[in-house]
Every structure is written in C-alpha cells, then in structure tokens.
Amino acid sequence: MKIIIFAGGTGRRLWPISRKATPKQFEPILGDKSTVQMAVDRVREQYGAENIFISTNERYLDTLREQLPELPPENVIGEPERRDLAPAVGLTMAHLAAAGDDLDEPVTILWGDNYMSDVSTFLSLLAAAETLITRQEAEIVFMGETPRFANENLGWIGLGEKQGKVEDRPYYSFESFRYRPPQDVAQKMYDSGEFVWNTGYFVTSIGYIWDLYQTHQPEMGAGLQEIKEAIGTPAYDEVLHRVYPRLEVISFDDAILTHVAREQAVVLHGEMGWSDPGTLYALKEALAKTTAENVVRGQVQATNTSDSLLFNEEDDKLMAVIGLEGMIVINTEDAILVVHKSQIPQVKQFVNNLEGTELERYS
C-alpha cells in the first residue's frame, strides 16, 4: 500500500507558533520531532520508506528532505503554488500512476499535522481498510475517530448500518459528512452514537480516484494527465509550472468526495487518541487531559490560571500570568499573542491582514 502524507499548509490559525516560512507541521511544538516526522514514523516500519510520499509546497522541499532523509527524494512532491487540495491530491495521484504502479493498489491519504496517542489502533485500522480495498468490498474507506466528547470544531461522519467485520473490526455503511456543527447539534450527534469524528484519513485505490477526476473534473483531469505524461522527462518542470497554476482552486471534498456514491464507501473507526490541533485552542484541547488543565512550555509561572495555553519560546525571559481563564498567551522572539479562546477564529484573519503591509514579515 502507498501512503501519501499532506504537509503543505501554512498553519496561520496557529500563529505565531506557525509562520509562513516555518509552518506548524515542520516545528517540534512539543517534543523533539515535528508532526510530519511523527506522521512518517507511525507508518514507516509497517509500509516501508519507499512507499511513503509527502505532498507539500515547493518552498518546503528542502526542509522536508532534511527532516526526512530516509525517504527517496523523488517521494517528496512539490506544488508550484497553493491551489487547494483537489489539485494537490490529483498531482500525487499523477505521480503514482506515472510510476507504473498497479492502479488497483490501495493508497492512503493522511495529514502531517495531527497528533495521536494510540498508534497500534491506528495501524490496525489502516490494515483493516487495506483489506477492504484489496477484497473490493468498498471503493473508499473513511477512517474516523471514536468521539471523546461533543466537539463543535471538527467534522463528523454519519454511520449507517453495520456491514460486517474485517480483522475483528466492524465497518459501517457511509451516511453523511457534517462539518463543524453548532455545539447543540454536536451534542446530539455525540449522544446518538451514530457519528464519529472525521479525521480526514481514507484508504482507496489509485485508479478509483484517478477515474473520479477524469469523470467529474474533466478540465482538471486533462491538466493532470498532461502533467502525468511529463513526469520523469526533462519537460516535467516546465509542464508542471505551466499547467498546475491554471488548475481550479477547489477543495478535494467539493471536487471529488461529493461524487462518491454511498454504496461505494464504508467507515471504520477506533480510539486512536487522534486530534487535529488546527487552532491554538484546539492544540490546547489536544494536549490537556482535562478542560481546566493548562498546557505550558518554557519559562512560565501561572497563578490562579486555568484552561490556558501558555508558551514562552525565550529562555532568558519569564512569562508570569495571574488570574487567567481560557486564554492563549504565546511569546516568541519577535511576536506576542494574547487572545481569549472565544476569539481564536480572528487569529487567521489577523495574519491574513498582514499581507501586503510593512508587517508582512511577521506572518
């Protein structure tokens, strides 16, 4: 099975920990390794470095090849510019198809900025999904996280009827996606037991996804086909930089997943300890054992403070906080952020507003 890990985002919602030049997936936010290194470590032993591919922006190619020297250099695939996920997924599929791989071979889509505490459960779900694709019992298998609480900041997958078991794991028919429901709706979904968190992980086959592009996104499919034919030739760079920027900016969900027939998809889920720290408070939620617990890094002294993320990246400076609740305080070498958890959505917009100004260097 081939593994594709996407690591091309800029992580603006995690500013100032994550910057345009050094996105969150390349930074050791906690521990000694970046999240993309941890993502590779989870699957390398079971699937082999030669079967792991990284999709990223061209500006990060050198960083990734330094962080992941065990991967063949050609397995790190660079986009000339950001065009959302539909073109990015299509580009990786073009590379796999051009390599002459069996188009029926299973392929997994993963993300390079997630945390996970139970890798053994994750690997068992991957193996079960691979079996379902190999046996042609489904065209695509969505992998969900058994929800731990009613989270309004994540996507959810609706479960249908139980279809059977594979390697002692039940799998279900696919009913629906729901992205970031209101808290009261999330609570009802959680209480029903009929929904799981959407990790964004799925297992399918190279040929199935390639055919969906050709059928439902014919213009993009034609561009990807032109790029595919140039892979491995001296013309590749010219073709890639000419064709890719013309591909439509559209999400993978809208371009491809909306066209997946329900009967072609199934859902597996388990307790992987998965979390997607897409915002600063989501990072705090992912790393804390309870809501009231603070998450602290660096020289920090906190008094009468709860439910806060407190990061200090300057070794010779003391961060002192008193009487805070639900706050994010980040001190870096060149920027300080103080924001209440209820205002977290404004962080990305703030960083976007720096573009084209004299302060853009801080983005």
Q: How far apart are the first and last CA of the chain?
A: 38
Tell me: pLDDT of 88 over 80.
yes
The domain locations on the chain are 2-278, 281-362
Q: Are the beta carbons of 172 and 151 closer than 8 angstroms?
A: no
Q: Say how far apart CA 62 and CA 189 lie, in whole Å.
A: 43
Q: What pLDDT does residue 251 have?
A: 92
Half-sphere exposure at residue 188, Cβ-oriented, CA atoms within 13 angstroms: 5
Tell me: pLDDT of 11 over 80.
no
Percentage of the chain modeled with pLDDT above 70: 96
Residue type, 54: I
Tell me: pLDDT of 293 over 90.
yes
Phi, psi (deg, nearest 5) at residue 352: -60, -35
Tell me: pLDDT of 202 over 70.
yes
Q: What is the mean pLDDT of the chain?
A: 91
233 band by pLDDT with thresholds 50, 70 and 90: very high
Tell me: pLDDT of 100 over 90.
no
49 band by pLDDT with thresholds 50, 70 and 90: very high
- Beta strand segments in 17-154, E: 52-57, 76-79, 106-111, 140-145
How many beta carbons lie within 10 A of that of residue 336, not counting itself?
11
Q: Say how far apart CA 58 and CA 82 lie, in whole Å.
A: 10
- The neighbouring-strand residues paired with 53 are 4
Q: Where are the alpha helices (DSSP H) in 145-217?
A: 183-192, 206-216
Give the pTM.
0.85
Q: What pLDDT does residue 235 have?
A: 97
Among 244, 242, 215, residue whose Cα is nearest residue 94:
244
The residue ranking higher by pLDDT, 124 or 148, is 124
Tell me: pLDDT of 76 over 80.
yes
Q: What is the pLDDT of residues 328-362, one digit of tens each?
A: 999 999 999 999 998 888 898 898 899 889 999 88
Q: What is the pLDDT of residues 302-332, one digit of tens each?
A: 999 999 999 999 999 999 999 999 999 999 9
154 band by pLDDT with thresholds 50, 70 and 90: confident
Check whether domain 2-278 has CATH 3.90.550.10, yes or no: yes
